[in-house]
Structure 1
Amino acid sequence: MIDQKPLRGVRVLDLTRVLAGPFCTMNLADLGAEVIKIEMPGSGDDSRSFAPMMPSGDSAYFYSVNRGKRSVTLDLRFEEGAAIFIELAAKSDIVVENFSPGTMDRFKLGYSQLKAANPKIILCSISGFGQTGPMTSAPAYDIVAQALGGTMSITGNPGGAPVRCGVSVGDLGAALYGVIAIMSALRVRDRDGVGNHLDIAMLDCQVAMLEDALARYSVSGKIPERLGTRHPSITPFQQFRAADDYFVMGAGNEAIWLRFCDVIAMPQLKDDPRFLTNFDRTAHHAELETLLARIFATRPREHWLRLLADASVPCAPISNVEEVTRDPHLAARNMILHADHPDFHGLIVPGSPLKSVGVGDADIPSTRAAGLGESTDEVLASVLGYDSNRLSELRRRSII
């Protein structure tokens, strides 16, 4: 079978830590890149100490975003440590970092130094606010990006407090835009023979993901508000409570709406002037929600899900995390995996959503995260040709 991994043969030096950067480089590893994670001797990525901890003492948090990478310890604060990194960069394709802007320059590892060693190098810098602008040096976390980028203002129940999204979309959005930028830069390098310094800001990515909220404000002049699970432009499209539990459904076009009216035994809704079109239904959403809530409360969730699914009306239960891990469809698509850990076999990790049709289990990524520094000697020997005496001396001086 032909290897479908597009980044096979690409070497990535990963200087990132915690979430946005590591999630970016993990996806590069899933795409076939050789990812060498550079960590501080003795401590490593901050998230190695984040809960939850496995019985082995390893962080499950760290494992969840660092699979498929090698770990090399290298103290960049030493001049010789920075020089070793430059040597590695000269034989690599991509460097990814998520330090505060200016840190790479203080290490004398900025884009100009990397480019001097390797004119085709691609440096991807992921930060809270970017490499330029008045807020470039401000500290940022996921919640800061969600707050400033508008996401929190439209998340939550009507009239309620703003709510942070349940997953770290500030970090994860920046990570995935980083992957897109890197893949694009590789295409330019292959075409034109030049590298690039990519500037990915968490705040920029949150604004890019506002999609129709900006459009609605531009057209109406009204500031978008929190709507709970309701869609601002499609009705019905939200959660409802059945007699026993919650579920979601949506009628995104008129054909689905007509089928929906029949399946809930309310064909008269099709001719109700308040609900004739999606625009009408959205304008009268409160009246429709009240009516549907009374209907759905009469029968259990499974009853409604079965009827709606049989009529090809999009619907689903609201699965909790345990239910996600037991989903047979996700299992069939290799999205529920158990991490390859030498001492603990109970850690569940997601597979890669980046798949090719027809390759079967070939799209299952490596699920092992390297121990701190376990690849140091191997990488420095195989990539840079260091012998045991040089490695011992570097280790004695705490550079590696």
Structure 2
Amino acid sequence: ANAEYYLDAFSVNGVLRCDDPEIELLDTTSVWPIIPAGFESSNESDPFSLHVPDEFVSRMVTFTVFLSTSEGYEVEVSFDALVGQPSIALVNDHGNGSSYADNWTDKMLAAGQVIDVIDPATATSGGLSIYEKVIWTTANDNNPDEILNQDERDAIAAYLDAGGRLLLTSQFAGDALDGDPWLTQYFGVEHDQDQVNYTNGMMIQGVTDGPFDGMSGAMIGEGSAQNNSSPSSMTPLENAVPFYHYLNSDAIAIAGCNGNGFLSIYAGFPLEALGTVTGRDTPEDIISGLLNWLDGESIVEPGNGSSALPTELSLEAYPNPFNPDLTVRFSLPQPGEITLDVLNMLGRHVATLQAGPAVAGVHQAVWRPEGAASGIYLLRLNTPGGTKITKALLMK
């Protein structure tokens, strides 16, 4: 854009820069013969181009364009752009006209995840199939009975029947679907009650011996959408596992279903209502935990309420990209001596995060690099049962 109180700009030359080491810039220059004062212009006819590898993790990337003119004027413009296809979709389904997409986007970015926001029309026309995981947030304060119409339920059913991973969050869905076998078939629960005692309904706590034992959250505080007016509870059935209950109550707030080839989670309140409160887990930690469960981590066998030991060796790091801290989680199917090291891309040792005997189960370590340069680092886990390696990108 060239403000009208500026002069015409002639022979504007643009050079694109990006510090992300996984992005290869191919055509980095673009030229505008003239940008008249008071007008905007694009480089659609002379675009920049770049290449990303197949294994590229979708994320927001910062680009900088250095602009100069024949008269010697220079300016730098930086902007963030989404690169890559996100693996997670958020279906923004609020029939009362409200939208919490920005709230979700912020929470997911804080958790190191980038999401696509789609509407119910896209979801019901086959738009879910390209995503590894789906978050469906829905409510209609004006008419709760209109929550999840038949087309929307059919779309969710088709996605899960194909082996999908879906998180449904709504404070009115249970009431709207009370007695509907669809809720039992795809989420393994029956609706229990509406409007759980509001004081208790402002807090959730991990079920004892469940996958989130020891965690807790609050539907108040910084970042809360403050839309938790009628929390509901549920009764988990044979193929479901209770995750969280409302504080000072046995009423279940969130449960997961290990279904026939799919995994699903139902939250009886809007997860966007979670906020940051001292002494409680952050919204991004709670949401990340739920999404990790949808990845098959820390699966609890339905009906027994106890955590099953991992059956496979696994290693993951998040958020990715990260700055300043990187959380590294790994699962050991058997005990033994292990080492967890950080290496640079040349294979040189940077840090050891853990070394020594470790019991079977899920473990976690944190890397806080000091003095490390931006770039890709390798996390290498050596165990008696094998070796796992994953990559993480430090962006300063």
Q: TM-score range by the shorter chain?
A: under 0.3
Structure with a larger share of its residues in strand? 2
Q: TM-score, normalization: structure 1?
A: 0.25
- In terms of Rg, which structure is larger? 1
Tell me which of the two structures has the higher relative contact order, counting C-alpha pairs closer than 8 angstroms and 6 or more residues apart. Answer: 1
